Structure 1
Amino acid sequence: MAIRIITADERLSAASTKISFAIFGPPGVGKTSLLKTLPPDRTLCLDLEAGLKSVQDWRGASIPIRSYLDFRDLVVLISGPDPAVHPTATYGEAHYQHVRATHADTGLEAFLASKPILFVDSITDLSRQVMTFARQQPEAFSDRTGKPDVRGAYGLLGREVIHALKLLQHAPGKTVVFVGVLERVTDDFNAVTWQPQMEGAKIGRELPGIVDQVMTMHFFDRAADGTFAFNEKGEHRRLVCRAGNPWGLPAKDRSGRLDPTEPPDLSALFAKINAPGPAATAA
C-alpha cells in the first residue's frame, strides 16, 4: 500500500471530520433514542439487539443483524479490505470481493456508501454474538482433550471484536457511534465502580484507545443555578464527556472541545467537536 501524506488543510476539511464514539449507559437511560438527534437521511443503524421500539418513528434506515458473520460481511463492505491481513483471510481482499459479489444485485454497497454516520446498537450485543461464534471455533477446544477451552474462546472473542471495531473506526468518511450497556459493580468492600457490560475484559480495556470519544449517558439533577449533579434517579439525562470526572464514570474527550457534561444531542456534539479554531484546554 502506498504511503499517503495528509496535509493540514485536508485534515481540517469537511470530508475529514469523521469521529468515533463509544457511549455507555444503564438500561433505560435512552441510549437508542440518541438516533433521533441524528439526520435520518445520513444515518444507518446497525441493529444487533432488536431494540428499536423506542425510536420506531425515526425516519432513518436500519439493518437488523442476528449473526456475527453478517456483521463481519457488513464491516468489510463498509471499510474495504484490511491491507494488514493476508488476501485470503477474514477482512482480506478475497472476503471483500466475495461479499461484493454476493450483494451485487441488491445495491447494498452503494447504500452503505451513502450513509456517512453509522450507529451500532449495541456493542454489548455484538460481544454476545461474537462469543456464540467463538465457542464454535477450533480455538475454543483443547488440542489435547477436545474439550471446550474457555480461555481460547475468550481470546478469539477479544481479537474478533477489536479487529471489527478498528476497521469501522478507519472506514473512510464514516462517523461511527457504538452504544453499549453500563453496569454498576459493587465489590466486597462496598466500593462502586462503573464498567461497560460486555463479554470478555479485553474489549473494555482496549476500546477507549480505539475511539475518539468515550461518554457515559446517565441521570442527573439540575440545581437552581443551572448546574447538574449526578443522581441515578435524577430527571435529566446528560452525557459525561471528560475523564477524571468526580463520579468515576467512563469518559474521554480526545477533541478537547466538550464540557464535563453535555446534553444528549449527537448532532450538536458533532458540530461542537468539528468547529473551526483551536481546541479548548481541559479544566
Structure 2
Amino acid sequence: MTFQIITADQRLAEKRGIKGCIFGRWKIGKTSLLWTLDAPSTLFIDLEAGDLAVEGWAGDTIRPRTWQECRDFAAFIGGPNPALRDNQPYSQAHYDHVCSQFGDATALDKYETIFVDSITVAARLCFQWCTGQPEAISEKTGKTDTRGAYGLLGREMIGWLTHLQHTRGKSVWFVGILDEKTDDFNRRVFSPQIDGSKTGLELPGIVDQVVTMTEVKADDGTLHRAFVCQTLNPWGYPAGDRSGRLDMIEDPHLGRLMEKIRQPLTKTASERLEFCRPQPTDAETPANVVQQAQE
C-alpha cells in the first residue's frame, strides 16, 4: 500500500464540516438555535426530551435513551474507524452491525448538520452505563468502584466525541449547560456541566469552535443574547475560534455563524495572527518599572 499525500489543492477542495460546542446557562435559548438552521438538512439528536422550544420545527429527530444507542448512532454517522479492533466500538465490525440494524448509511447523506442536545445528558447516560461495567466493580467488595467508573466515563466520552469530530463531511454541534462557580479568590469561574473532569478539560481541544451563549449589556443598558467566540474575552467565558474568522461577539444565530466560518479568508496568516508582544507604554518601560520599584 502506497502512502497517500494529499495535495494542497485536494485539501482545499474537500468538503469539510464544522465541529463545535455551545455552552450557556439554562433557558438561555440553546435548543432554539435549531430555528436558525436549515431544517431539511439538519438532524436533531434529542437527548434531553426538551423540544418544547422547537415545537413546529420541520427537521428530523432521533431520541437515544441509552449510551449504547448513542455509540451506535455515532458509528452510523461517522463510519468505521480503521485503527480499531473488531471488538472495539466504532470499528468496522461495529459499523457493520449498526448498518444491519439501521439500514444503509446513505440515508444520512441528506443531513449536513448534526445538532446534539445535549452533551450534558450524554455524559449522564454514559456514566449510568459505566457504573455497570466490570472495570467499575471492585474485585474485593463487589460494589461499584466510583474511580473506575469515572475513568471509564472519560475514555468513553472522549472516544465518542473524537469519532464524531472525524466526520469530515458534516457539521456537528454539541450544546451543553454552563456552570458558574466562585474560586478561592472569589473570582467567577465558568466550566461546562459535564460529569467527570476529563471530558470538560479535553473537549475544547477536540472541536473546532467553542462558543458561549450568554447575555450582554448594550450601551443603553438593555440585555440581549450573544455568542462569545474568542478565547481572549474579558468575562472569562470558555470560547475559542479555530477558523480565525469570528469576532469576539457574534449574533446568536448558528446558521449565520457557520456561513461566516465558511467564508474565504481575506487576510493572510501573518495578518490574522500576532506573534509579538504589544508595545509597552511609557509607564511600562523597563527603566520606569525599576524606578517605580525603587520608590
Q: TM-score of the superposition, structure 2-length normalised?
A: 0.87
Deviation at 1:2, TM superposition (A): 6.8
User: Which amino acid in 2 is paired with 1:277?
Assistant: L
User: Which amino acid in 2 is paired with 1:10?
Assistant: Q
The runs of 5 or more residues in structure 2 that have no matched partner are 275-295
Matches of 1:164 and 1:2, distance apart in 2: 30
Q: Which residue of 1 aligns with 2:156?
A: 160
The runs of 5 or more residues in structure 1 that have no matched partner are none
Over residues 208-264 of structure 1, what are the superposed CA-to-partner deviations in whole Å (9 max), with x where a residue is unaligned? 11000101000011115xxxx8xxxx6311000000210000000111110001001
Matches of 1:38 and 1:183, distance apart in 2: 26
Q: Which residue of 2 aligns with 1:11?
A: 11
SS in 1 for 2:108: helix
Counterpart check, 1:190 vs 2:204 = no
Matches of 2:8 and 2:254, distance apart in 1: 25
Deviation at 1:206, TM superposition (A): 0.4
The farther-off stretch of 50-59 and 198-207 is 50-59
Over residues 70-118 of structure 1, what are the superposed CA-to-partner deviations in whole Å (9 max), with x where a residue is unaligned? 11111111111111210232211111111111223xx6x3332321110
How many equivalent pairs are there? Answer: 271
The partner residue of 1:245 within 225, 229, 233 is 233
SS in 1 for 2:76: helix
CA contact under 8 A between 1:183 and 1:194: conserved in structure 2? yes
Q: Which residue of 2 aligns with 1:81?
A: 80
The farther-off stretch of 234-243 and 158-167 is 234-243
Q: RMSD of aligned C-alpha atoms?
A: 1.8
Question: Share of identical aligned residues, percent?
Answer: 48
Q: Which residue of 2 aligns with 1:273?
A: 261
The aligned runs of 1:1-283 (5 Å cut-off) are 3-13=3-13, 15-104=14-103, 109-224=105-220, 235-278=223-266, 281=272
User: Which amino acid in 2 is paired with 1:94?
Assistant: A
User: Which amino acid in 2 is paired with 1:281?
Assistant: R
Matches of 2:162 and 2:2, distance apart in 1: 20
Matches of 1:22 and 1:236, distance apart in 2: 20
Matches of 2:38 and 2:263, distance apart in 1: 18
Q: TM-score of the superposition, structure 1-length normalised?
A: 0.90
SS in 2 for 1:143: coil
Matches of 1:261 and 1:84, distance apart in 2: 39
Larger radius of gyration: 2
Deviation at 1:181, TM superposition (A): 0.3
User: Which amino acid in 2 is paired with 1:170?
Assistant: H
Q: Closer, same or farther in 2 for the Cα pair 1:65/1:2, shift >3 Å?
A: farther
Deviation at 1:48, TM superposition (A): 0.6
Deviation at 1:10, TM superposition (A): 3.0
Over residues 183-204 of structure 1, what are the superposed CA-to-partner deviations in whole Å (9 max), with x where a residue is unaligned? 1112344221010001000000
